[in-house]
Amino acid sequence: MQYRRAQIEGGTFFFTVVTYRRAKIFAIVENIELLRQSFKEVMKDHPFSIDAFVLLPNHLHYLWTLPQGDSDFSSRWRLIKSAFSRKCRNDFKPPRSPARLKKKEQTLWQRRFWEHVIRSEEDYTHHVEYIHYNPVKHGLVKAPGDWEYSSFHRHVRRGLYDLQWGACGRIEFEPEVGRE
């Protein structure tokens, strides 16, 4: 099957990236730091802005804006995943299946990722909110402000959110917002 990726120079994209077999590799603090280092390393040569993110134990969501004239988010994800996989200790890796070995792929990540082109300010807002509410959705915390590995606190400092946003009552999203 041929996958078609959006090719929009300077575009803003929402991503879902999942660990292989939903292994909870980001429940380990050292792995979170390795992922941060991997992002920094890749961003030196392949810049982009991270508008919002959340890192959960077995998946992550990011909202990126690429530089004008650049549409290559796939290479960035490949480089980030590769950099992380090279540094991650082997005892954190799930067992390899024979089919994966044939392709010489790392078994820390699912092979592909899901992306969505942000098409409007409203679409942007819905995806940022989805990202920040995701730890609540998965039952990890009672409020977005209780989750450390998210851009939520950065948005609060900038005055874009009240610290109590998402703490009172369940937030529902349209089906097209944030797929996992």
pLDDT in tens, 1-13: 455 567 788 899 9
Res 5: pLDDT: 62
Compute the distance between CA of residue 161 and CA of residue 74 in angstroms, rounded to an integer: 31
Are 80 and 43 within 8 A, CB to CB? no
Res 97: pLDDT: 55
What predicted TM-score, i.e. pTM, was given to this entire model? 0.86
CB atoms within 10 A of CB 166: 24
Which residue of the set 62, 130, 133, 149 is catalytic? Answer: 149
pLDDT of residue 95 exceeding 70, the answer is no
DSSP H helices in 6-140: 29-45, 73-87, 98-102, 121-137
Q: Does 62 qualify as catalytic in the annotation?
A: no
- In the chain, the domains with their CATH numbers are 12-119 (3.30.70.1290)
Res 136: pLDDT: 96
Who has greater pLDDT, 164 or 3? 164
Distance of CA 174 to the CA centre of its chain: 19
Mean pLDDT for 79-106 is 66
